Structure 1
Amino acid sequence: MSKISPLSGFPELLPDQRVVERAVTGSLAETFELHGFANIETRAVEPLDRLAKGGEIDKEIYLLRRAQGEADDASSDRTLGLHFDLTVPFARYVVEHAGHLEFPFRRFQIQPVWRGERPQEGRYRQFTQADIDIVGRDELPFHHDVEVVRVMVEALGRLPVPALSFQVNNRKLIQGFYRGLGIPDVTAAIRAIDKLDKQPAEAVAELLVEQAGASVEQAQVCLELASIRASDASFADRVRALGVTDDLLDEGLTELAAVLEGCVDVVDDHVTVEANLRIARGLDYYTGTVLEIFMAGYERLKSVGGGGRYDALASDGRTTYPGVGVSFGVSRTLIPLLSDGVLAGSRPVPSAVLVALTDEQSRPGSIAVATLLRARGIPCEVAASPQKFGRQIRYAERRGIPFVWFSQPDGSHQVKDIRSGEQVAADPDSWTPPAEDLHARAVVATSSTDDTQTDTQTDTRTKEQLS
């Protein structure tokens, strides 16, 4: 057999790393469901013409075809591609199933997506995203913008990750500002400002002049707007001080202030929400609230999540389905943290108990003990072979199983915590391991030489373990 080489951009997690991912996705799902969001899963493929942006075929789309295509292949008349995000398939899902949905429809998805881009840290060709959206029929009240941000703040606040910052803006604010300022091409101005995280201010100013038709003075005012940041509604006074007036600008200022005020009781030192008037998100379908999420110590990843309001993303020609949503990059966030040793699984296997074997004839008795433990929700397994007890204990140690169960000749039982060496009498009908040992968990690393990891450990929220 030839040597196996990993495929670049298609990460595979080891069992203890998968424990972390499952704990995170399980926690996210629990929070989303607490707020009434229904879980859906869309198909992995969409017609290429639906995935294409503005009729232009995106070079990052992976195509799907049979290795041995046939002329009468039912799918040959439409080229299929793997979805590169969860928003496009969700928009199609809403239109296709609208007759079976109750609006406003609240959904969450946690699924893999595929994107044919150059692999690098935080960017993969296959990765998992977690999305929440609220979609209405023809109209969707603004208070859902506030709600979606609050829910994602609460969900991410439960995760054992470094501090997160929600940077929020409003497209009405920046569109109204550019319009009131007299910028000829507002859309080009938004796209130029969206490049501030990749290019210096001087280069963006040149784009504003060359592509948006702004004067040098107007470009400078646009950069002044983009520099405004505040954790409260004081940003509005700073915007008005720039001397630009417009009705759409006023509406955007009001909505952005409402998002900040609506999140006051769910933010803390671990998850913050801040107005950042540089945030633009270059996609044209955003019409109101826009946001990006950043992780402390991992600014090199850029944003680890984002989203916003879209008033016309989905339509069947008769009905329009406006929505608002936020996406969180599960793989984008977790894989660097796992690689750096910031997060780890408490053990690589589900089993909390290994039931030992005295000899092969004792296997039915050991299976009976395991059955009693499992009936009470305690994950366990029976030893593979009746080796010496010392070897069975070492086997449990290698697998990360914390307890070994011994059945005695007189019918009594004992259980040993192989970490402390403590061995006590136990009854399979009543014994339960400590809560922190019952299931494998995501835990924060206890030691690190990396400054980022040290900062992470000092955050009180990240010291909490996620069950």
Structure 2
Amino acid sequence: MSRITPLTGFPEWLPRERVVEQRFLDILRDTFELHGFSGIETRAVEPVDFLLRKGEIDKEVYGVRRIHADQAERDAMALHYDMTVPFSRYVLENAGKLEFPFKRYQMQKAWRGERPQFGRFREFIQADADIVDRGTLSPHFDAEIVSLIVDLFRRLDFGRATVRVNNRKIPEGFYRGLGIADTTGVLQAVDKIDKIGVKIRDLLPDEVTDEQADKVMALAGIRTADGGFATRVRALGVTHPLLEEGLAELSALIDAVAPYADGTVLADLSIARGLDYYTGTVFETNLDGFAELGSVCSGGRYDELASDGKSTYPGVGLSVGVSRLMAVLVRDDLVRPSRGVPTCVLVALADDAHRDASNAIAHALRARGISAEVSPSAAKFGKQIKYADRRGIPFVWFTSDDGTQQVKDIRTGEQVDADPDAWTPSEDDRAPRLIRKEQ
């Protein structure tokens, strides 16, 4: 057999880790649907020219072709590197069949050819949720998305998550009020403040004076848990209509989410989100104590998700880095499954002649939604119990010679008479659940 060569950047979780990932996705799915979002899945590939519209990501895109393919096919398709681009195409293709505003979520894999490192993979799962409308999108949907983030991380219970929110109109209007022409260049520099701090001054465009740079840094340093940020911004003495518009929109958002946020949503005017398609609300979410991960949920508003020349489709949405979060959950054992297999009951096997009877018991349990499997061999009962214990199966089902049936909780040793058409485990035992590490 040839030697196996590991591939970096393509995670493969062990069964117990996969249970954590699946429960993670279940919570995301349930929360999205509680908030009225419909699930979709787009194809894995898109036309190359469609994916490369942003230009700067061409080195990160994986092309797709048959081994025996001509040049035209080699240049035709590529794997998507996020879900925003395929979603924009999906909206345009299906606009006549969708009801707007359209609320969608997606949880699927994406591929990006970047250098693998902790928390960053070449193949990864993203979970996105967006609200899109035709023509205009009401600003109250921005607050709805931020409230969704708060609810997501409250239900995930991975620790305290802080949602830092800004509005792109605030820095852009502020920079214009300062007389700075290259507002995009300043935004892209400020976007790196979490990584390099005050060194971003060296990245500011050459046109920015020292006095202007001081104001830029002062704006980026404003952070409040309430609407007080607006007063602090105005105290800097810079005025511009776009700035006032952004202050009003962010104030309305903070006021709207405050009753549900328990102090986890902050107005943070350093949040820039350097991509130029963001036009209003922008946000990043950080897990307290895990600065190395950066933002684990980010996004914002974009006035042109898609356009067909006649109609424009603005949207606001979020993206959760599922694989990035999984990396730290696994490494630090922050969350573990109550067991590594779905099986709740192992049906013991007295001898091979009784396998049909044991299969019938397992079938009756499964018919009632209880995961069950029959022992792989008719070993001594002690060995069958050890087999269940090694796999984390909590119950073993026995049938005595007189036909009496009993189920044993091998964790406590308690054994009781049972009927496969009536016995039910506790909700905690019915399926693997997540157990959070005590801090």
Residue correspondence of structure 1 range 50-449 to structure 2 within 5 A: 50-56=50-56, 58-70=58-70, 76=73, 78-201=75-198, 203-210=199-206, 213-268=207-262, 272-445=264-437
Q: Aligned to 1:265, what secondary structure does the other structure show?
A: helix
Q: Distance in 2 between matches of 1:224 and 1:442?
A: 43
Distance change >3 Å, CA 330–CA 56, structure 1 → 2? closer
Q: Aligned to 2:142, what secondary structure does the other structure show?
A: helix
Normalising by the residue count of structure 2, what TM-score does the alignment of the two structures yield? 0.97
Amino acid in the other structure paired with 1:205: R
Q: Is the 8 A contact 2:129 2:319 kept in 1?
A: yes
Q: Distance in 1 between matches of 2:435 and 2:197?
A: 39
Residue correspondence of structure 1 range 15-34 to structure 2 within 5 A: 15-34=15-34
Normalising by the residue count of structure 1, what TM-score does the alignment of the two structures yield? 0.91
Q: Distance in 2 between matches of 1:44 and 1:423?
A: 50
Q: Distance in 2 between matches of 1:62 and 1:325?
A: 25
Aligned to 1:464: none
Q: Is the 8 A contact 2:126 2:321 kept in 1?
A: yes
Q: Aligned to 2:204, what secondary structure does the other structure show?
A: helix
Q: Distance in 1 between matches of 2:115 and 2:359?
A: 50
Unaligned residue ranges in structure 1 (runs of 5+)? 446-456, 459-467
The Cα shift of 1:409 comes to 1.8
Q: Distance in 2 between matches of 1:439 and 1:322?
A: 41
Q: Distance in 2 between matches of 1:381 and 1:348?
A: 15
Amino acid in the other structure paired with 1:233: G
Q: Distance in 2 between matches of 1:430 and 1:237?
A: 65
Distance change >3 Å, CA 39–CA 208, structure 1 → 2? same
Q: Distance in 2 between matches of 1:55 and 1:275?
A: 32
Aligned to 1:5: 5
Q: Distance in 1 between matches of 2:73 and 2:401?
A: 68
Q: Is the 8 A contact 2:185 2:205 kept in 1?
A: no
Amino acid in the other structure paired with 1:389: F
Q: Is the 8 A contact 1:49 1:55 kept in 2?
A: no
The alignment yields a C-alpha RMSD, in angstroms, of: 1.4
Describe the superposition over 1:11-47 as per-residue Cα deviations: whole angstroms up to 9, x where unpaired: 1011111111111111111111112111000111111
Greater mean alpha carbon deviation, residues 215-224 or residues 251-260 = 251-260
The Cα shift of 1:425 comes to 1.4
Q: Aligned to 2:125, what secondary structure does the other structure show?
A: strand
Amino acid in the other structure paired with 1:68: H
Unaligned residue ranges in structure 2 (runs of 5+)? none
Q: Aligned to 1:311, what secondary structure does the other structure show?
A: strand
Describe the superposition over 1:208-235 as per-residue Cα deviations: whole angstroms up to 9, x where unpaired: 242xx21110011000000000111011
Runs of 4+ in 1 over 3 A off after TM superposition: 53-57
Aligned length: 439
Aligned to 2:43: 43
Q: Aligned to 2:260, what secondary structure does the other structure show?
A: coil
Identity, % of aligned positions: 55
Q: Is the 8 A contact 1:205 1:216 kept in 2?
A: no
Q: Distance in 1 between matches of 2:414 and 2:262?
A: 40
Q: Distance in 2 between matches of 1:374 and 1:147?
A: 40
Q: Distance in 1 between matches of 2:201 and 2:13?
A: 43
The Cα shift of 1:281 comes to 0.4
